Structure 1
């Protein structure tokens, strides 16, 4: 999932296009969503669903440490059990198949597959091998994320992403995984949301490891992106037929007024949220304006680093959830502007589909070498309850339809979007918010581990089946 910072409510959204109407997912006849080469999938992450944190040689991660620290996670929740996916994975893949999803994006837990000396852990590797082989048997495409925030604690003890050596250890990990699973992975993603890892983990302390200095955030980001570039080289060497990419969470910033100061504030919001990651990847440089926003925080960059970071990619994963309305802080930055009377999710995030369309179109304009795009996460949290054996998540249904319509609008505007993954398959451990916020299209009773597909899941399954029947 994306960042846990509370977003202000913002101005009411405008639907990007009426391609999906009524209760069912039924796009207009000319919608790109009918194309059989447009992939529809679901996404999860290891620490959020697996549990079994001390089984079969798995080592502690920074999220085990962080969530066990009093006051860091709502209600003192941890991922120790989560959805018990480590033991229930076969049933979860059966559920994925029953819902007709064409692709599954999951993450590998780094602490589960290597020991502290970098040697492979056969039991952990075996778990992911069985998972991948079963997905292949079911004809479901495999999208594997190498790093979804669960850094081994022993590496954090040596500085974590502030230590340049962690980038090289990440490359070792990518090398091992791509040798072990060559031919089983359709698409590799090196990092999930480096903005969250760097800023929330090292800039404001809201996420593990809980450090809070802007200078830490920019150096951590550089080492994350360096690790990404080194990992891409290993993935290409060991698994040449798979696609290689990275996943960035992006934010839409809009100004509170048409004043030059507020327009600058909105632009700098997007520099901090988007260009900080995308400029190094696609321009080979950090945006200078970032260091006007955070003076004196330039990271240590060695010769050749930026070329490594800017290695060509086969695709870019985009995670989108909300926009942020801002005004100038009177200096170099921005402040959020809370606006009343808007639709929000359980997270307090505004429902703003136009932001996804606008960002996709803007990235195509800004980056001449932008590769094909997958929406690797999009979804919303709601306080879902099972009533009479059913979950009627009407707001989520509306949310998903409007955001799929925004994707369709971006495709019609010329953006090469190849697929869409709903976040998430299952309700799960939502980082600093524990188990209170439910993002799944499948409800999980954490006491019994019973899975109940929500109305949104049923409608998605129906649409995918209908699309398949058209061919």
Structure 2
């Protein structure tokens, strides 16, 4: 959050018992495709889809030459994941991808952002390519195109080969070259059909929780590891984009990356909490956003990054991108915490703010806030919301159906916020809901469910929820039907 918006944000946080409901503004309206009442509509050509990640859904962790990832090691370490859950089977997407692609197609989705498992393609992280691993993504790509769904591969969603972690992983500067070689291998196999490529997923989250707090894989702790992981992810991303741009040929690829961008407000709107909110905003948002789009690290963190930055690094990181993926869940409310890793800590959202089943604040207007800032402060890049969704306690009704109205309201309210941002000139091109299937939710295991489709943990049977049906209606209408 920029200094110029602090007073407005502080006043809202301090004075409003609850945040105002998002309004559709000047959103166009049209009859719903199923003949219902008028609904706010999205622009023509708006791209609808969903996102997943390899370790969270694929399973088959020891099949067809795949080697362990850091999440295999982490989840099999005692006490790291709730209930001792692992991604060994996950949603068995490796064997059931055809069924899952059909679910996407039935809903009318036209884009699927999936991640490629690095240890499935390169078991040692470098060197010999595992042909069977690439074969899986080849089959998946063809299955998607056969159902008129665009494949959107993401090259890294946190499952680093354990063999590379043994060499230092993201704390080792050499990983930029390792990642670039891997990117070229994958794009060389399916890039004749897959045209939209994301380099990384949420590098700041991976650095903060995996390398700072140690609550995610690989379980490292300390500020030094955070800064190394951030800088080397930024560097790898820039190097890979440059290499892929050169390799793309005349047809080219659409190249981008995915960041978690969450506005940070001072708890209670208090000026005494403002420095903590600025610090966390720099750590979470700007440490990846600023080098990519401005060619510099945020001033608050420049001294910490200085020893890591070599001549030419920032120029290499600042590569032109064709799109920016934005993952948004809620604002973050910060206050000083002397015991916190960076001297900051989470605090309460404004009184009256609704919450998800994970106690995350529900603040759809925060999405509009961050999208408008991308327009005003970062040149209005083409943006896709590549993750948005929520966990709620799903309870089947007498007929076994999950009528998850809370999830529908959550998604619809955030789409309304997105529509508002479009009205304000934001270059928003599409929406990929998180997520298709109830899956392995990292350190929370399987007790948290974000999916539009229920997955029976014993049989792997897929059962669409009411939110799946609603999302299909939204796609048909290219708009936002009522809950």
The two structures have a TM-score, normalised by structure 2, of 0.89
Query: 1:109 maps to which residue?
Result: 117
SS at match of 1:217: helix
Q: 1:455 to 1:257 in 2, by over 3 A?
A: closer
Match of 2:362 in 1: 351
Aligned to 2:458: 447
Equivalent residue for 1:133?
A: 142
Pairing partner for 1:383 from 376, 393, 396: 393
- Provide Cα deviations, 1:102-136, integer angstroms capped at 9, x if missing partner: 11110110000123242221111011001101111
SS of residue matched to 1:190: strand
Is 1:95 equivalent to 2:89 in the alignment? no
Query: Aligned partners of 1:25, 1:435: CA distance in 2, in Å?
Result: 35
Paired residues, what number? 452
CA pair 260-59 structure 1, distance change in 2 beyond 3 A: same
Alpha-carbon distance, 1:366 to partner: 1.4
CA drift of 1:216 comes to 0.9
| 1:49-99 Cα distance to aligned partner (Å, 9 max, x none) | 000000000010000000000010000000000000001011111111111
1:235 to partner: Cα distance: 1.9
Match of 1:410 in 2: 421
Out of 253, 256, 259, which is 1:245 matched to? Answer: 256
Alignment of 1:458-469 (within 5 A): 458-467=469-478
Q: Structure 1, residues 16-61: CA drift from partner, whole Å, max 9, x if none?
A: 214799xx9999969451x331111111100000000000000100
Deviations 1:215-263 (A, max 9, x none): 1101111111111011112222333532100100011212235554333
How has the CA–CA distance of structure 1 residues 138 and 325 changed in structure 2, closer, same or farther, with 3 Å as cutoff? same
Evaluate the alpha carbon distance shift between residue 313 and residue 211 of structure 1 in structure 2; reply closer, same or farther with a 3 A threshold.
Answer: same
Partner of 1:317, secondary structure, is strand
The answer to whether residue 196 in structure 2 is matched with residue 196 in structure 1 is no
Q: Hey, what's the Cα distance between the residues in 2 that align with 1:375 and 1:95?
A: 21
Show the counterpart of 1:5.
none
- TM-score, length basis structure 1: 0.91
Deviation, structure 1 residue 467: 3.8
Structure 1 pair 91/282, CA: closer, same or farther in 2 (3 Å)? same
Q: Structure 2 residue aligned with 1:183, among 188, 192, 196?
A: 192
Moved more, 164-173 or 318-327: 318-327
Large movers: runs of 4+ above 6 Å: 24-30
Cα deviation digits, residues 409-433 of structure 1 (max 9, x gap): 1111111000011000000000000
2:437 to 416, 426, 429: 426
Is 1:48 the equivalent of 2:56?
Answer: yes
Indicate if the aligned counterparts of 1:178 and 1:234 stay in contact, CA closer than 8 A: no
Query: d(CA) in 1 for partners of 2:347 and 2:359?
Result: 13
**1:14-33 equivalence runs, <5 A:** 14-18=20-24, 31=40, 33=42
* CA–CA distance in structure 2, aligned partners of residues 11 and 357 of structure 1: 20
Distance in 2 separating the partners of 1:270 and 1:321: 15
State the alpha-carbon separation in 2 of the partners of residues 101 and 61 from structure 1.
Answer: 30
Counterpart residue number, 2:296: 285
Who is 1:3 aligned against? Answer: none
The CA RMSD over aligned residues, in Å, is: 2.4
1: CA distance, partners of 2:66 / 2:81: 22
1:225 correspondence with 2:238 = no
In 2, are the aligned partners of 1:219 and 1:299 still within 8 Å (CA)?
A: no
Q: In the aligned structure 2, how far is the partner of 1:330 from the partner of 1:25?
A: 54
What is the rounded CA distance, in whole Å, between the counterparts of 1:229 and 1:32 in structure 2? Answer: 36
Structure 1 counterpart of 2:160, from 146, 151, 157: 151
Output the CA distance in 2 between the equivalents of 1:115 and 1:46: 15
SS of corresponding position for 2:329: coil
Q: Which runs of 5+ in 1 are unaligned?
A: 1-9
SS of equivalent to 2:308: coil
1:256 aligns with 2:264: no
TM-aligned CA distance change 1:417 to 1:338, over 3 Å: same
Alignment deviations for residues 447-469 of structure 1 (CA, whole Å, 9 cap, x no partner): 1101111101101112222349x
Stretches of structure 2 lacking an aligned partner (at least 5 in a row): 1-15
2:19 alignment partner, one of 6, 13, 16: 13
